[in-house]
Chains A and B, each alone.
Chain A
Amino acid sequence: DAGITQSPRHKVTETGTPVTLRCHQTENHRYMYWYRQDPGHGLRLIHYSYGVKDTDKGEVSDGYSVSRSKTEDFLLTLESATSSQTSVYFCAIRPDGTLVGGYTFGSGTRLTVV
């Protein structure tokens, strides 16, 4: 399988606390993405990165920030977690160049905000 790992796999946190999710890749790809998946909504793009320190917002970026200080790591931070951010979070990577083969996803992080 492609070298992409997410941590933690599961997390329970309290409302109002900051939370950071990590995505790590060993493929040296420029492009990395964070999605959230909720029943009735499918996967929605939160933020993405097209290189070190190069990031942009997706469809549902409010309440989230990201950082990419190294090619291999893309961090997603919930600045002050709310119950509406309870979700499954997926990181994805894709090779540079033409998007032919789609993305490769990590195994996901299940986040519960109580």
Chain B
Amino acid sequence: RKEVEQDPGPFNVPEGATVAFNCTYSNSASQSFFWYRQDCRKEPKLLMSVYSSGNEDGRFTAQLNRASQYISLLIRDSKLSDSATYLCVVNQGGKLIFGQGTELSVKP
């Protein structure tokens, strides 16, 4: 079993849609959690950290459920520029463990 598992993609959605990505992690001792975004043939970049109380950054909302070891990312009012791969990332002892990523394609 992979340490961090994400929804298989790709997600193809129209502009303006709301899309949700899910992620589960296997190590209950994981300390912190992140969503990264990776554009085609580019390096991953931090999108947002994920906090137990849930947090928002504009159109993006991240949730964490430690009891279920589940992380989510909600994107509202999707833009063409949101097309990318979204990586669920877990910190275990100072090392980041990455999910495979979910590809999002937003169409006009």
Contact = CB atoms under 8 A, between A and B. Distances in A.
B99 A90 contact: no
A102 B42 contact: no
Contacts, number: 50
A99 B100 contact: no
Binding site of B, secondary structure by majority: helix, strand, loop or mixed?
A: strand
B98 interface: yes
Interface in B94-108: 94-101
B49 to A, nearest CB: 7
A42 B101 contact: yes
What size tier do the contact residues of chain A reach? 20 to 34
Interface in B78-98: 87, 89, 91, 94-98
Interface of B: 4, 31-32, 34, 36, 42-46, 49, 87, 89, 91, 94-101
27 contacts: A31-B94, A33-B95, A33-B96, A40-B100, A42-B99, A42-B100, A42-B101, A43-B44, A43-B87, A45-B97, A58-B95, A92-B96, A99-B31, A99-B32, A99-B91, A99-B94, A101-B46, A102-B34, A102-B46, A102-B96, A103-B96, A104-B46, A105-B43, A106-B43, A107-B42, A107-B43, A108-B42
